[in-house]
Amino acid sequence: MEIEIRTIAEEEYDSYFGMLETSFGGHARPEDIERERRVVEIGRCLGAFDGPELVGGASAASFLMTVPGAEIRAAGVTGVGVKPTHRRRGVNSALMRRQLDDVRAAGEPVAVLFASEGGIYGRFGYGMGSFMCSMDLERERSAFVRGSEPGGRVRLLERAAALEAFLPVYDRTRRERPGMIRLDATWFEYRFAEEGHHEPEPRRYFYAAHEGAEGIDGYAVYHVKSEWPDSTPRNELQVEEAVALTPGAYADVWRYLLDVDLLGRVTGWNRPMDEPLLHLLAEPRRLRLTLRDGLWVRLVDVPKALEGRRYAAEGRVVLEVRDGFCPWNEGRYELEGGPDGATCRSTRAEPDLACTAAELGATYLGGVSFRQLQRVGRVEEVRAGALARADAIFTWDPAPWCSFMF
């Protein structure tokens, strides 16, 4: 079977998006296509063609991503799918091959994605670089450890005013956490679009702003699912996003969410693995925090990526990297880094650690240690003491997380 991989034309986008929806078991609606057109980069949409038939696709967005102590250009890989008629024929591998070649040519040192299935992307050199948690809290078991005195006030805003007011708060918070994506006004509006959720009606959000002494310093975006079993209110409040600039504002935002009337449960599907709410609750077990994979990270240019972040401590480590899918990364690299910057260059020195590009991607944002991967045979400690030294350099606080699933 001859499959051609090429960039789609503008007039092919509707068919392209329809094919991707088919690959995920859905049907494209006009409102879905309209929503995606607001942010899509046609020049980064790759189609797989079996003759005239479009049978697969993969696209990317041009992002700036927070990394430890800095930010770096990253290709946000999304919309990867193959028609059911053409699965298991190498179409996805061909798309990944072309896409990573294009990412390298564009000078982006890193590619990142959220995986529909965790087993797909490791073979292309992606490593599980961050985690996300779901939560499901019974409202009546949501008391805080200590009595909470509000340090400001919360008020509800209309959508347009809320998005304008919330974006600066988001931007300040995302600078502190590796894995977060810088969003402009268009992407922020897309992030909280109320249509295009494969539901019969638009999902109407509430927008709650927390105001402190210096203005809006936190916010929550949420949806309420109406549930009245036996005529008794047991609504579910679904948290889309909750962020704040200070610990006090964070507590106030969550206290507001947990005290909304007529609730039975408060849920969230994408929270950080170091969720502070866990330490606010008198009964933390009741949060039912469940861990799963989050952002997958692929280093496309190893030295440029490693130089692009900062490190928790001064140190030096020689890494031997194996990379069968992007062979230009193969080799040994001497990394010298610290809080103020880093250098990374090819070397013939004996290695301290040996791993593949996938393991390096997993450790890149500072949330997964080399020792964790060594314990399951995925990293080799060549020189005694290298694991402890590398982990002291690479670790970062806070834990990596991306609140925006693209």
Active site residues: 121, 406
User: What 3-state DSSP class applies to 375?
Assistant: coil
Q: What is the DSSP letter of 88?
A: T
Residue 48 near residue 56, CB atoms below 8 Å: yes
Select from 355, 396, 373, 360 the least CA-distant residue to 110: 360
CA distances (Å), origin 4, targets 7, 17, 146, 275: 10, 18, 62, 45
Q: 375: Cβ–Cβ under 8 A, 6 or more apart, which residues?
A: none
Considering just the CA atoms, what is the radius of gyration of the chain in Å? 23
User: What 3-state DSSP class applies to 393?
Assistant: helix
Q: 385: Cβ–Cβ under 8 A, 6 or more apart, which residues?
A: none
Spatial separation of the C-alpha atoms in residues 387 and 373, rounded to whole Å: 10
Tokens encoding 169: 């708060």
